[in-house]
Structure 1
């Protein structure tokens, strides 16, 4: 079987196993069984429905980690996992089972005995939810070796572009308070939705803020994303709650961003943080990053979103985003990935892992 046939087969097999967030057990079992057959039981360590794999031990060589999450978002599809032409359809085909397939085929096809690196792989659960529920954090606490990687490569879908750094993300609820009244006599109350008008206008008119680090541009934005109010359709609401998502560049902590949000709101609403995710630095000058950039990646750019690159960065491990999934298809109905990207992504990572300077 050619490597292209193997990649297609593996991606089809794992995409056919549903793994929406919180339901990763079945896929974890499939991946675990395959890795134990390939590497032996001593190399594979399971924690709940996540796996940490020491695929190739090479003391003194660069310590590389390939990182992929098992879960998908809950999307709708008009048929089972399938191949149509040069596309493979199914939940998670792009985000990020294409990356998982590449990880599994690298284990099967590389000669791990002569690999010029110390290679680990991580398959983890609950990435597609809140930061605190993400199981990569507990794995980094439990497996000390992961805290000493020289480079972690998160195989998030990137069209085989090398994406450096990542934005931090703060979700917070803004609570605007008023006073109830009958909607036929609104002057007897204070409509909490109207209380929010000035803050909404401020957010609407606030221009994006660009931050440059290592020659890479990060664009900071604040977006209202959800709103709720009202006790009934004929009652002037006394409470209006607005979720805002503040995407911020490396260089500030989530707590500092929350304080800045409070300054912007200036007492017009209560600010209640609900989900805090740090940002990740680009590490553009890191020698292993420059080596990967020279292995045929489609482009080098900034990651204008959040990924677990930030979690590695927060413990002093350089990390990048690079994956074969079709980026625009992440979280889409009838999600697919383009198979040529799968083949190219494998070839780039094979080249990177086998040509590392010792």
Structure 2
């Protein structure tokens, strides 16, 4: 196995103290369902993925000698260098949301329960198994296991990898192992959050006529939201449904005070035919006349289904693709000019819940589909 630079020494060696912790042993060539359970039983809440990253790095070093491996922070990257005409990138995040009394994993028939089963250790297990099992793929393949996807965007490991190791993200197609019930979800919506502030004048509530209630002044904001008609946009046969919603209202000083400020937070989920600037213009038009401050904005990703590699993968699944509702890291790949799809085992509606689980038959199906595509 050839190693690239960075922190590439084996866990347990070198001066970095993180490598001195005991490393969970992962059997990448075992049944992917068993591998998923092992991944779930190695806690990796955002910001604390080092132990799992150590285990993945060690397993690739022992069981995938055909791969070049790179460590970047708490992300692990691996790739073939076979000189194929095309390259496919498979990516999955190692981190989970905080544990909610749902570890260790447990099995119940075809269901595997536990924190991160659906989002997205089932996808990581699928990708990691194929990294070791498919030594001679017909496309060159890059595998990216990254950190801090579930927290603020500036901590996302893909951003660090793009800054420090841009050449590792070159590909003709990126497949993100987000939970999609083992179906293809193309592109993703963009997301925008903004705060709309209304102001008034404080007064004692017993003499309310002396004040001006800022919460009442927010009524037109809510009326515009209630009257808003969202678009349905068909792109490459995938229908993206937009939505503009109030997600928080903050106002009030005390039980006997007329409030002088109210803040309505709105979230706009927009189709990927709008870029970030167009989405911001639209929201400002909807709330024209109000004090609006943008707090978060991430563009979506077009489906990219007309790209040859994407069309080839969709054909390999035998299923019709659908639009991705929500934002995922396919947006990052799309911004790099790489067609990107979401495909992985697990129900996205179970992500982040106490009841999170995955149907293990979807893990088997996803492995079979990707193996067929790569082989």
What is the TM-score when the length of structure 1 is the normalising length? 0.92
Instruction: Tell me which of 141, 144, 154 is aligned to 2:166.
Output: 144
CA RMSD of aligned residues (A): 2.0
**Residue 69 (1) aligns with residue 90 (2):** no
**Residue 294 (1) aligns with residue 315 (2):** yes
- In the other structure, the counterpart of 1:98 is 122
**Residue 241 (1) aligns with residue 266 (2):** no
Give the conservation status (yes or no) of the 8 Å contact 2:102–2:113: no
Q: Give the 5 Å matches for 1:324-343.
A: 324-343=345-364
Give the conservation status (yes or no) of the 8 Å contact 1:130–1:275: no
Question: CA 1:37 to 1:311, structure 2 compared with 1: closer, same or farther past 3 Å?
Answer: same
- In the other structure, the counterpart of 2:107 is 83
Instruction: Tell me which of 47, 56, 64 is aligned to 2:72.
Output: 47
Runs of 4+ in structure 1 deviating by more than 4 angstroms, as ranges, are: 2-5
What does the per-residue CA deviation read over 1:143-176, in whole Å, with 9 as the maximum and x for residues that have no partner?
A: 2224421000000000111111110001112222
Give the conservation status (yes or no) of the 8 Å contact 2:41–2:103: no
Instruction: Tell me which of 308, 321, 339 is aligned to 2:329.
Output: 308
Instruction: Tell me which of 57, 62, 73 is aligned to 2:81.
Output: 57
SS at match of 1:184: helix
**Residue 199 (1) aligns with residue 224 (2):** no
What does the per-residue CA deviation read over 1:29-62, in whole Å, with 9 as the maximum and x for residues that have no partner?
A: 22122122223598221121112211x2122421
Question: CA 1:66 to 1:78, structure 2 compared with 1: closer, same or farther past 3 Å?
Answer: closer
Give the conservation status (yes or no) of the 8 Å contact 1:161–1:297: no
Give the conservation status (yes or no) of the 8 Å contact 2:64–2:132: no
Gaps of 5+ in 2: 1-26
- In the other structure, the counterpart of 1:218 is 240
SS at match of 2:31: helix
- In the other structure, the counterpart of 1:256 is 278
What does the per-residue CA deviation read over 1:213-234, in whole Å, with 9 as the maximum and x for residues that have no partner?
A: 2222111111111221122222
SS at match of 2:355: coil
1:290 deviates by 1.6
- In the other structure, the counterpart of 1:6 is 31
